[in-house]
Each structure stands twice: as C-alpha cells, then as structure tokens.
Structure 1
Amino acid sequence: MCCLMPVICQDIIPCHDWSSAPVAQLFKDQYRHYGLGKARVVFTIHNLEFGAQLITKAMEFSDKATTVSPTYAREISGNPSIASNIFKFHGILNGIDPDMWDPYNDKFIQVSYTSENVVEGKKAAKEALQQRLGLKRDNLPMIGIISRLTHQKGIHLIKHAIWRTLERGGQVVLLGSAPDHRIQNDFVNLANQLHSSYNDPARLCLSYDEPLSHLIYAGADFILVPSIFEPCGLTQLTAMRYGLIPIVRKTGGLYDTVFDADHDKERAQGHGLEPNGFNFDGADAAGVDYALNRAISAWYDGREWLNSLCKRVMQQDWSWNRPALDYLEL
C-alpha cells in the first residue's frame, strides 16, 4: 500500500546583519498579508558588533535566527539583543567553497598539489613566495597572516607574534590592510622597523592582493589567526585546504574548527575529527607564545609529524556539505 504524504511549499526570506535586519519587521507588518502567509524569515548574525538596535528588532520579528558558529552563538547568547529570543537562536558553522580554494586547480600557484604530494607542493610554493617578495630562499618556518587589520583581529597579538617568530629564526608574511588610517600607518612604521632591525626576514604587504593571498596559503607553513572574537573565521578553513597548520585563539568559530594537537584529541573525536593545529587562551603575549612556540618547535624538531599533520588538515572537510544539512534541518 502506498502512503502519499502532502508536500508543503514554504518560502524562506533570509536576512543578514544590521543592513537587512529591517526586512524582518517590514515583512511581518506590511507584506505577509499579500499572499505571503507561508513565508518565514530567517535572520543571520555574522557580527554582533554593529547595529545592535536593528539586530534586536530582527531577532524579535524573525521566525528563526542563526549565527555562523556554535561557540559564537554561546558567547553572545546573553547579549540583550539575543537573550529574550534565545529559543529561536541557532549556531551553524560556515563553510568554504572547495572549488574556489583548491591547490590542485589554483591558477595563482605554480605547482599544483593534493594531500598526497603536499610536502613537495608547498616547498615549491614557498620558494615562489620567497622569490616574489624578495625574502631569503632558506628552508625556514614561515608564518602567514592574512587579515583585516582591526582590533577584532588581535593586532597587538599579531605584532607580538611577528617579533617572536623572527626571534625563533622564522619568516613572516602578512597580507592585510586597515580601514583605520592610524592602524595602517602603525603597520607601515612596523614594516620599516622590521627592515632596519632584522635584515628583512619579514614582509608586510599592506594592501588587498588576491593572487598573493593564494600564494601565501600555498607557501606558508602556518596561518596565525589570534582574533579577540571571531564569529566563524574563513581564513583558518581556507588555510587548512592548502595544508597550512592553524595557530588560533580559542574563540568563536576558531574554537569550533581548530583542535589543539596536544590537548584536544578527545574534543576532536567528539566531532569525528583528529587534532589539526595549535590554539591558546587569553589575549596576551604569553597566550600566543604558548601556541606559536609549540608550532615552531614542531617545525624544527618534528618535521615528519608536521608533514603528516599537513596531509591530515587537507583531508578534513570544511566545505558546505555538513552545514548545508544543518540549514536544511532548521
């Protein structure tokens, strides 16, 4: 006997952050009576830092609300904009496009590679990166930093990590710019100071450069993301696609995606994963040093293990496959 179930078609109106937050109230007050009674509004918070009043209204009038990682959802759950509507609030991790970020088909890097030849591929990419930026072509641990230069991104920790890496004999490549001209000028001065103090084992590229970002992902050994808060973060996910080992602060989506090689085996297993990087608490020099020193020491003293970690992170799936199922369920 065949049982036929009715199919209910329902439109979803997605709104994101403060800029489209008013749509939720406008729809409920003025538009749903015009034959749109089955439509539902889903409001997504990408960053609670801006437009709190508009976000509060959107939370009230939306049918469901989401943000871009489970940990960020917990971190902001007590905020007045969220708290009274917490029952409709869900954290769903972002994903990346594995076709756009693919070291096997990346037109911006010279040697394509997969997890099977990641060591050879990244070696060639590092040499190309060093040549492009005029860095000494030595086999040294290289820290990559790709970031907007704002206080959210932990710029005081970025500065400290640059000096610490150079003290450990490594190289640093930073790509990013600051919307605040004072911060931009501060990093220009830092670049000049590094040039005079360390004979140039660091390059601070203070602009937007899409091809260079691909080359840094391919050529660096580690990616540093020391954010003060980070709703999700795509930098660490993209970096792992290229075999970079992430070094991150334990906040928001960084905590949900980076599992410390020394301390997070059980937590990783709970997510069906293996450890994939280094993380740290706090927002001070001691915190970032704890993760950074372990990463650089592993490069010097445990290269075989580190190479296997590069392969592992490339094989982990940070695409939209799993998040899409969570959105469909919601």
Structure 2
Amino acid sequence: MMLDRNLKVLLVGAEVVPFAKTGGLADVMGSLPKALTAMGNDARIVLPRYQGIDDLTTVADFPVKMGNRMETCIVRQANVEAKLPEGGTKNVPVYFIDSYHYFDREGIYCHFDDAERFAFFDAAVLEMLKRISFQPDVIHCNDWQSGMIPFLLQERYSPQDSFYNRISTIFTVHNLLYQGNYDPDFMRVLGIGSEYFSPNSLEFYGQVSFMKAGLVYGDVINTVSKRYAQEIQTSEYGLGFEGLLRKRSQDLHGIVNGINYHEFNPETDPRIFRAYNSRSIQDKYENKFSLQKEMDLPVRDVPVIGLVSRLVDQKGLDIIAEMVDEMLQEDIQFVVLGEGDRYYEEMFAGIRDRYPHKIGLYLGYNGILAQRIYAGADMFLMPSKFEPCGLGQLISLRYGTVPIVRATGGLADTIVDYNMETNSGNGFSFEPYDSAVLLETVKRALRLYRDYPERWRGLVVSGMENDFSWNRSAAEYLELYDLAISKHARGCRIA
C-alpha cells in the first residue's frame, strides 16, 4: 500500500550522475531521488566527494574515529539546480562526504585502502545526520560501499543515541558480483569487536564483507529485478550468499530500475541526428543512414544490429564470438561500442578487419555515439550471462530499437519474447546460454523485419510506448520504504 504521509529518505551510494559514474548505480542514484521528490517526499543524496567535483558549499565538519586516530570529515552541498537530471519542479539536496586523506585522489575505486575509505564514508554519513538536522525515515543504501551503514546503525549508533532509533534501512544489491570483502584486520580501524567476526554477522569465508553487512543488518533487502532476486538465491548466481538470501527471502524484493524519460527521449535528444516519436517512426531511418555514415559503413536500407556494452564476460560476448561469423553471413550491419577486457577489444577489432563493410567499431566510451546507436540501429543485442537489471534494453525500447536479449535477471522481467501467432511481445529473448540459440533468435528477428514489415513497425511502436520511467519504479520503492519502516518498528531481525 502507498503511504498516507510524505517520507524523508536519504539515498547513499558511491556514484551519482552527473558527479561520478562507472555503471548503472550512478543512473539510479541520479534519477530515483528526483522521482521521489516529485511525488512530494523529502529525498536527499549523499556520496563521497571525489577529485574534480566542484561548485560546493561547506555545511559541516567534524571528526570521525578511525582506529587510534581521528579523521576530519567535511560535509559539502552541491549547487544542484542545473546538475541533476531534469524533470520535476524541486531540487534534490546532494551532500558530499569530503576527506583529504581518503577521497582527494584520482579514481573512484581500486585503491589499496578502499575498505578504510568506505568505512569512513559509512560512519561519516551517520555522523552527518545530526549536523545537518536531518532525521530520515529511511536510509536507502546501495551496493557494498554503503553496506556497513545498517550494521553501524543497529550496533553502534542506535544503542547510544535515541536520535537513530527510529531510522530504518533498505539495502539494494545492484550487482552481487562486487562484494567489498577485506582482511579481518580491517575491523580494528572501524572499532568493530571480534564478536562480530562470525558467520551470523560480518564474516564471509574468512573475510569481513561490506555486502554481507548490508544483507544481514538491512531491515529490507532488494535488488533491481524480480528475476534477479530469485536467481541470487541459487548456487549458480548467489556467489556464496545464496544461503543467507534464502534465509532472508521474506525480506528480499525486486524492483526493476527505470530510465530518465527526460534524458532518453528521441523527440528532444540533441545527441541524435533527427528527432522522432512513435508517430513519426519513419524519421528513425535518417538516424540509421547518418549512423552508417559516421561508422564508415555503406549507406543502405539493411538491418543494423547495435551493441553498446562493457566488453566483459558477463555481457555474453563469448557466445557472440562463437556465432558472429555466421551472423555476418546475413545481409546486415553490426555496430559495436564498448571498452573492457583486452581480449574482447582485440576480438572485435579482428572481426572488423574481416568484415570492414559490415561492422562499425568504436573502442572506448562515447556517450553521444551510444545515443546515436540506440536511435539508429534496428535491433539491440544484449545476450548477458547474467544481468541484475540492465538499462540498455530499456533505452533501446524508448528509441524504437528492438531488443534481442537472454532471459535472465532484469532482461527477463522487461522483455517479452515476440510471439508470431498472437503478434505480441516487445522484443526477442532466449534462455539457454548457447550461441546456436542466440543465432536462431537473431534470425527470427531478421525474418520478422524482412518478411513482415507492418508487424515489425507495430513491434517498434509498441515498444516505444512501454512505460519504464522512474515514476513507476519510485512508486514501488515507496511501498518498500513503508515495509522497512514497519519492520523496523516491530524490531524484526534475522536469527
């Protein structure tokens, strides 16, 4: 049920668009608070202040105890009027935890002291609340970097200060692969007693785990699709946490991410060649022809398949490698944008050399080109080995580019396989992680494109009219916040 009162929510994460981004977490953190605020809630954001983030105002400073020393935390606030994604009428306060010792350096992750850095961040977030006079109903923690907050709130802050007693937590897993597991010596830095180094608390295969802290101590847990919430309770996808997640299955939920419909709008997107909507779908062809020119491909009305991805195993590139030569025997073009593992970068470079008139390749990150691929391609390839939610398939639907996906995680929750008999669905999907099945699925899409143009047009238009905006997802999060508040009030904890 929906709440009959407005909520105060603090969303905590290591990345927020447009301040810092390496993946989809940043998009969520940049859009969900805006949608919550537009619904009348007091939603605020906090993240570390990394190098290069400027135009900030100092609002507080205080010491945070880290082992046998005190580290200074400076809380700064952003001038967000022109910073957060557009949409809604109110600004979202954005706070930054600043520390010259921990965050005044290049890069977000992969530092030798990441355990200390994010432990400091988590403790500083809780210390910050009284300094800025903000007592949230819910702290919404995201991924391992904020995983210690539910633990610290329950075991350190609530027993000592009634200010913290009524604050509930939810912990969102965006990708279980990244866990924040560290040597147990780290516990001394945060002042954690050895009694918490146990299977029922923070210990995870001989290490201290930020991820486990969030999974054990969060009032409610969720991940970014209903299918992924089921998958991570199995040995195949649980990565060692499946037993704990099954134990907490009643508290484990799935909410599919939305996308920012103001940013991803083919009617107004300045990055694409020609604006269009579901009523002027013929203008999409101009984007295809312009994309072909930009990628040095022959300009002709041929099916164009797009791939915008990190070039890593998770994204199904191994099964693409097994079938790509046969796929390129078809009268198609293949446009690839991405960066990642050197093996896959070299693989795609080799494919381009073999098929120079059929494949366009850009190795690296290029946000403008990504949008032009979403707008100019006819089909979007996303055969992930696993995919907690996925944004590519949602963006491609918005731009009238038909997704071809493997039915896993959020891809299974959002893409319904096209059924020729009922003329229904919004894309093409397959389940076995197999290159032959992927190839046949691509061929099914090509047959519909070539032999049934009116049905193809209907598939494109219906996909553009799907609603995967943040308004829908935000409404589900409000219900989840209500559940966390109720559960916290009852004092429910796992055994």
Letter in 2 for 1:55: M
Q: 1:275 aligned to 2:425? A: yes
CA contact (8 A) 2:305 2:334 kept: yes
Corresponding position of 2:409: 252
Summarize the Cα distance change of 1:265–1:255 in structure 2 as closer, same or farther, 3 Å threshold: farther
Q: 1:175 aligned to 2:325? A: no
Q: 1:158 aligned to 2:320? A: yes
SS of the equivalent of 1:167 reads: coil
Corresponding position of 1:24: 150
Deviation at 1:158, TM superposition (A): 2.7
Q: 1:194 aligned to 2:352? A: yes
TM-score (norm 2): 0.60
Summarize the Cα distance change of 1:102–1:198 in structure 2 as closer, same or farther, 3 Å threshold: same
Corresponding position of 1:102: 265
SS of the equivalent of 1:177 reads: strand
CA contact (8 A) 1:161 1:292 kept: no
Summarize the Cα distance change of 1:7–1:211 in structure 2 as closer, same or farther, 3 Å threshold: closer
CA contact (8 A) 1:67 1:91 kept: yes
SS of the equivalent of 1:292 reads: helix
Letter in 2 for 1:29: E
Greater length-normalized contact order (CA 8 Å, ≥ 6 residues apart): 1
Looking at structure 1, the residues matched to 222 and 295 of structure 2 have their Cα atoms a distance apart, in angstroms, of: 41
The answer to which structure has the higher helix fraction is 1
CA contact (8 A) 1:280 1:290 kept: no
Deviation at 1:265, TM superposition (A): 6.3
Corresponding position of 1:92: 255
CA contact (8 A) 2:7 2:137 kept: no
For structure 1, the residue ranges without an aligned partner over 5 or more in a row are 267-273
Letter in 1 for 2:342: H
SS of the equivalent of 2:221 reads: strand
The answer to which structure has the higher strand fraction is 2
CA contact (8 A) 1:142 1:173 kept: yes
Deviation at 1:200, TM superposition (A): 2.2
1:192-229 residue CA offsets vs partner (Å, 9 max, x unmatched): 3432x334210121110000001001100000000000
For structure 2, the residue ranges without an aligned partner over 5 or more in a row are 9-135, 182-208, 235-241, 481-495
Deviation at 1:281, TM superposition (A): 1.6
TM-score (norm 1): 0.89
State which structure, 1 or 2, has the greater radius of gyration over its C-alpha atoms: 2
Residue correspondence of structure 1 range 184-223 to structure 2 within 5 A: 184=345, 186-187=346-347, 190-195=348-353, 197-223=354-380
Residue correspondence of structure 1 range 127-138 to structure 2 within 5 A: 127-138=289-300
Moved more, 11-20 or 197-206: 197-206
Deviation at 1:54, TM superposition (A): 2.5
Summarize the Cα distance change of 1:151–1:301 in structure 2 as closer, same or farther, 3 Å threshold: same
Corresponding position of 1:284: 434
Looking at structure 2, the residues matched to 8 and 175 of structure 1 have their Cα atoms a distance apart, in angstroms, of: 41
1:136-185 residue CA offsets vs partner (Å, 9 max, x unmatched): 0011011000100111111112334543332111000010111x33433x
Summarize the Cα distance change of 1:282–1:17 in structure 2 as closer, same or farther, 3 Å threshold: same
Looking at structure 1, the residues matched to 169 and 396 of structure 2 have their Cα atoms a distance apart, in angstroms, of: 33
Deviation at 1:263, TM superposition (A): 7.4
Summarize the Cα distance change of 1:156–1:250 in structure 2 as closer, same or farther, 3 Å threshold: same
Summarize the Cα distance change of 1:110–1:8 in structure 2 as closer, same or farther, 3 Å threshold: closer
Deviation at 1:264, TM superposition (A): 10
Q: In structure 2, which of residues 165, 170, 174 is the aligned counterpart of residue 46 of structure 1?
A: 174
Corresponding position of 2:222: 66
Identical amino acids, percent of aligned pairs: 36
Corresponding position of 1:270: none
CA contact (8 A) 1:24 1:61 kept: yes
1:99-155 residue CA offsets vs partner (Å, 9 max, x unmatched): 10000101111211010011x221000011011111000110110001001111111
Summarize the Cα distance change of 1:319–1:264 in structure 2 as closer, same or farther, 3 Å threshold: farther
Aligned residues: 313
Summarize the Cα distance change of 1:158–1:28 in structure 2 as closer, same or farther, 3 Å threshold: same
CA contact (8 A) 1:43 1:64 kept: yes
